[in-house]
Structure 1
Amino acid sequence: MKTLETDAEIHADGSVTLLSPIPSWLKPGRTHVLLVVDSASENRSEDPVTPQPGSLKGFWMAPDFDEPLEDFKEYME
């Protein structure tokens, strides 16, 4: 198995276009492809969420949140 690392363009119809020349060892025809999406890519379409003051308004935690669970009692002894 050989590895080809290149940028690619993914189209709405599901087709993929490689953005660099195909190396000589890659023969035309059907092949198995594994796509790894780099989240740090410049082509990122969604903006990162920035927390805003008051965004957890209404959030609460049960008073016994830190208490040991009965299910794990035997492991804690």
Structure 2
Amino acid sequence: MESIFAQPHYANAIGGIAIVYLLLVIFTFICFVVLVISIIKFLITTTSYKKFQILVLKKEHPDLAEEFENPQSKNLRH
């Protein structure tokens, strides 16, 4: 005789779907973290590269560097 507490035959399928869903959630979270880290790295490298460009410009052309740092300030020496 079967036990009264036996699980229905579809219980294993539900467990498998739950595992697949959990793996999908973990994979999505990892992808999101990698995306955020790469965006932060990109922003850090571009801003530090811009600062490096300004430093080089200050050494070679101080008047151009000031205009490059503050694009709002118009240079009226034309």
| TM surpasses 0.5 | no
Higher-helix-fraction structure = 2
Higher-strand-fraction structure = 1
Bigger-Rg structure (1/2): 2
Give the TM-score of the pair, scaled to structure 2: 0.18
Give the TM-score of the pair, scaled to structure 1: 0.18
